[in-house]
Structure 1
Amino acid sequence: MTKPTPRPDPKSRLEQLGYTQQLERRLNIPEVVGLAMADVSPTMAVLFLSAGVFVVGGTFSIGAGLVLSVVVVLISLCLAELAGMFPIAGGMYSLVRRVLPGPFAWITTFNYLIQGIVIPASVALGIVAFLKDLIPGLGLPDTVIAIILLALATGLALTKVEVGAWATAAMVIVECVVLGIITVAALLHPQQQLTEVTFHPVVLTGGELTAVGFAVMLATLAPAFNVINGYDAALGFSEELKGGEKNIAKTVIISAVLACILIMVPLISAVVAAPDLEDFFNAPAPVIYSVQASLGAKARIIIDIGVIIALFNALLSLLMYFGRGVYTTGRDGIWPTSMNRILGRLNRFRAPGAGILVLAIPAGVLVFTSALNFLIIFAGTVIAAVYFCIGLAAFWSRRSMPDEPRPFKMPLWPLPPLVVIGFTGIALATQDTQYLIAEVILIAFAVACWAGSKKWSSSSRGPDSSIPGGRHHDLTPDIP
């Protein structure tokens, strides 16, 4: 009788890539998926992020969301293959850095990490309105409440990873219950025919409902791209996930599929439940309009509780995820030596404390600034830019690294990366000029830092023993 083949040590691939295991493997697949779902925040996506899509595309938002769902699954296949090859806690930053030339890696780094500052600040402020609606006597200034919430989420993120995972899992369950109530309530009172709103979409133009043309369909794709997002957070916990590299691929694919289901089902239900499409499109939050029409006065409490939980859950998960990305940049030694030494350390709970604080502190500053509104919308542009680079990396890795181990190999190659490149390219091209200019400035700054890194890292090539768990060798691609 032959002995079963031993399961590969999940640390082995990490060590082959030049890293030592410092983060502890304490999480299973459901816990990591729960963390990713917290980052996706389906309640926030359905109730609020969808509003801009309805304004632009009307009921074609359903079609755009279905198209986007296919693209999201294709993106997850690209992420799964790359993450299996490079199971590193830096998320999409690490994947691009291992495959594409240095400038692309730095562009991805800046587009990736800016989300970890802007989005937590906007989420913290977003919670306040619903807290005050739920508790009218709450007399503290909005900014003070936002800072308290940000500090509470930061404190949880700085503890053991399983504490944050358990907290987010509990909140995701509550969030799903709220979405379930919204969906059932909407379906109990259908007002529109699903086939009609899906296959004969209309949009509100000049106060009248008109048929959606091709130009409107194209314009709807960019705002829709921001609705189903955050599933990539599963990658940030690659070094804390139990099992082999295939488990990492499973978590990101499961997270992406769940995100599509948990967002699209209640979104479609809300359109079907809208008593009047003109009022629906004119509402500040169209889905809330449908929910209130179905549930009446009870809707306010359900919405407030659901959104508060969803937003705080997203805030916690965002800090945990992007904090690990910052930690990985320090461990990789991409910054000046003193910064690398600080960012590349773990605290006594084996969490990337400095990486989390580097995000939380500037996020707290942004809470008090008027530039936050611009940055929130700009976040959609940087998300598209990062996924564009992921598509390039997934395509190029098959050509530049044909012999690299691939624990998960995406089906239908090269279709997934080509679709991702094309879709994100369209999303970027259709952004407003001011956001494209901001993206060009960000790219220029990233390229300048890449050029500067040639100087500040020249004296620290090779092992960096001052950083616990640091790199055994420099992993920057040798491409000028």
Structure 2
Amino acid sequence: MSDGLQEDLGEAAGALGAKAPGIVPDTGKYEQQLSRGLTFKENILITLSAVTPASSVFIIVPAIINGIGGASALAFLIGALVGVFVALCYAELSSAFPITGGEYAFVARTLGKPWGFGLFLLNLVSGVLIIGVIASGAGQYLGVLSEALGGGWVGIVVILVTTVIACLGIKTNAWVTGVFLVLEIGALVVLTVVGFLHVSQPISTLWTVATSGPGGVLVSASAGLVVSYTATALFAFNGYGAAVYYAEETKNARSTIGRAILWSLLIAVVAEIVPTIAVLLGSKDLAALVASPSPMTQFLTERAGPVVNTLVSVGIAVAVINAVLAIILQFGRTLFSSARDRSWPDAINRPLGRIHPTLRTPVVATIIVGVIAALCLWLVPFSVLLVATSAGIVILYALVGLAAFVGRLNHTTDAAEYRMPLWPVAPILMTLATLVILVMSLIADWVPVAVAVGIFGIGLLYYALYLRGKPDRWTLPLPADEELEDEVRG
């Protein structure tokens, strides 16, 4: 990797600009195809909807409580600390490369194209499967209204309906996700108030590692489990980096995208940790809470009654729908970006890389993501969906940390308007932390890690066999000129 890598890539793309769709001729820069209409706050609304704090608290947190009891709070605090390092790296890289391809766009430009494509494939597969994982929760929480709404088909319908909504203009989606986000935050506020009004457990509960033993009795567990479950806590926060996926649709992206990422992380941490602590301290019977297959539902029913539980459950169903919508938006743009970078045969690139002339959204790519996600939820067992998505986030973070470190050394991130403080502390600590979590995850269950590494390896193989050595493929242009984009805002 030479110091002039970014300029070389731009020159190569410029030479191809006259014949490559999505590239401005003779500039080596992407054409502004998407509508640059989002404000800083609207970007955060969509980004937080992808994080989906309420869904995390009601769907992901219970698994951590079942595993390590009250120490769930400690796992979340460690995860939040690692998240700060991750967010700092994301902020600088996103400011340098405000490109809708997200992580693969800056990993490819800093660490090399093969690493970028391997990460792209891992991220895309994980993202599509995550849509199914999250959507499966819709029936669980809508079922409190009617048994007819509790079937597995509900999640499939949610995916298909939100796919249609995701095809609309980006500002429309920002407001739809914003309204839904307010409703899900309201559900978390209710949970928090109920918990703190009924504090029954000692503060030491929050760092005591315990799990459910025979007869539902709490038994001590290994402190090493906290580190293992930190990977799950990281997954619960994951999504704040999604702000970069809307960078080409956000005004003044170079100067605002880093702040959008940091603010999204801060809000997500508060929105998830505070209700979790409230439930752990407010539980009447911690052993029963840890043993329960639905700790949050049991807690609300026990402390606030079935009516409140029903109202909150509807709020969580809204959160699930909102998260599905936001993630389809995100990965529809990822797939579009891969086609614009000519990752596939041209017969595939042309429809996937097409932008609707009125809506200015990647309609075909968005529909493909939604349909595949619905098919996966219908045909693939839920346990397989979980295995295929749980370890990918750790590999993603490790590569983001390396990219933030290497990017400054080879000067590929010099264009970033946001520069993280105390570099290289954040990328070094982040990379080390993710490697430790990866090792602990391997010890706990090697299968998810093996699946993630396998998908990444397939991406490397595809690049070597199809993309490598082709001068008209993966030229990786420079970001579009923001100062020339006023006429396409909408």
Same fold judged by TM-score > 0.5? yes
CA distance in 2, matches of 1:362, 1:409: 38
CA distance in 2, matches of 1:67, 1:391: 17
- Check the 8 A contact 1:271/1:287 in 2, yes or no: no
CA distance in 2, matches of 1:33, 1:365: 30
CA change 1:285–1:423 in 2 (3 A) is farther
CA distance in 1, matches of 2:155, 2:102: 27
Counterpart of 2:205? Answer: 197
CA shift, 1:104, in A, is 1.2
Q: Report matched runs for 1:257-406 at 5 Å.
A: 257-348=266-357, 349-401=359-411, 404-406=414-416
| 3-state SS in 2 of match to 1:315 | helix
For residue 42 of structure 2, what is the amino acid of its counterpart?
E
Counterpart of 1:475? Answer: none
Moved more, 24-33 or 298-307: 298-307
For residue 360 of structure 2, what is the amino acid of its counterpart?
R
| 3-state SS in 1 of match to 2:104 | helix
Partner residue of 1:228 out of 229, 234, 237? 237
CA change 1:128–1:244 in 2 (3 A) is closer
**Alignment pair present for 1:428 and 2:441:** no
For residue 219 of structure 1, what is the amino acid of its counterpart?
S
Counterpart of 1:30? Answer: 41
| 3-state SS in 1 of match to 2:236 | coil
CA distance in 2, matches of 1:145, 1:358: 19
| Unaligned residue ranges in structure 1 (runs of 5+) | 1-14, 472-480
CA shift, 1:288, in A, is 2.5
- Check the 8 A contact 1:335/1:456 in 2, yes or no: no
Tell me the TM-score normalized by structure 2.
Answer: 0.86
Q: Deviations over 1:419-457 (max 9, x none)?
A: 221222122223352212212321221111111233684
For residue 37 of structure 1, what is the amino acid of its counterpart?
L
- Check the 8 A contact 2:80/2:234 in 1, yes or no: no
| 3-state SS in 1 of match to 2:159 | helix
- Check the 8 A contact 2:68/2:211 in 1, yes or no: yes
Q: Report matched runs for 1:39-54 at 5 Å.
A: 39-54=50-65
- Check the 8 A contact 1:332/1:470 in 2, yes or no: no
**Alignment pair present for 1:19 and 2:27:** no
Counterpart of 1:5? Answer: none
| 3-state SS in 2 of match to 1:367 | helix
Tell me the TM-score normalized by structure 1.
Answer: 0.88
**Alignment pair present for 1:65 and 2:65:** no
CA distance in 1, matches of 2:246, 2:124: 16
CA shift, 1:230, in A, is 1.3
For residue 75 of structure 2, what is the amino acid of its counterpart?
A
- Check the 8 A contact 1:274/1:289 in 2, yes or no: no
CA shift, 1:386, in A, is 1.0
CA change 1:437–1:460 in 2 (3 A) is closer
Q: Deviations over 1:35-78 (max 9, x none)?
A: 11111111111112012212222211111111111111211110
Counterpart of 2:453? Answer: 440
CA change 1:470–1:345 in 2 (3 A) is farther
Counterpart of 1:214? Answer: 223
Counterpart of 1:255? Answer: 264
CA change 1:302–1:411 in 2 (3 A) is same
CA shift, 1:178, in A, is 1.0
CA distance in 2, matches of 1:74, 1:460: 33
Counterpart of 2:187? Answer: 178
**Alignment pair present for 1:246 and 2:259:** no
Moved more, 370-379 or 289-298: 370-379
CA change 1:462–1:419 in 2 (3 A) is closer
CA distance in 2, matches of 1:439, 1:314: 23
Counterpart of 1:476? Answer: none
Counterpart of 1:103? Answer: 114
For residue 266 of structure 2, what is the amino acid of its counterpart?
V
- Check the 8 A contact 2:387/2:447 in 1, yes or no: no
CA distance in 1, matches of 2:153, 2:302: 34
Q: Deviations over 1:381-415 (max 9, x none)?
A: 11111111101101111111177222000012111
Moved more, 333-342 or 243-252: 333-342
Partner residue of 2:419 out of 393, 404, 409? 409
Counterpart of 1:12? Answer: none
CA distance in 1, matches of 2:28, 2:416: 13
For residue 396 of structure 1, what is the amino acid of its counterpart?
V
| Unaligned residue ranges in structure 2 (runs of 5+) | 1-25, 482-490
| Count of equivalent residues | 451
For residue 299 of structure 1, what is the amino acid of its counterpart?
V
- Report runs of 4+ in structure 1 exceeding 6 Å deviation: 461-464
CA distance in 1, matches of 2:98, 2:245: 9
CA shift, 1:132, in A, is 2.7
Q: Deviations over 1:171-213 (max 9, x none)?
A: 001111111011001111111122x113444443445434454
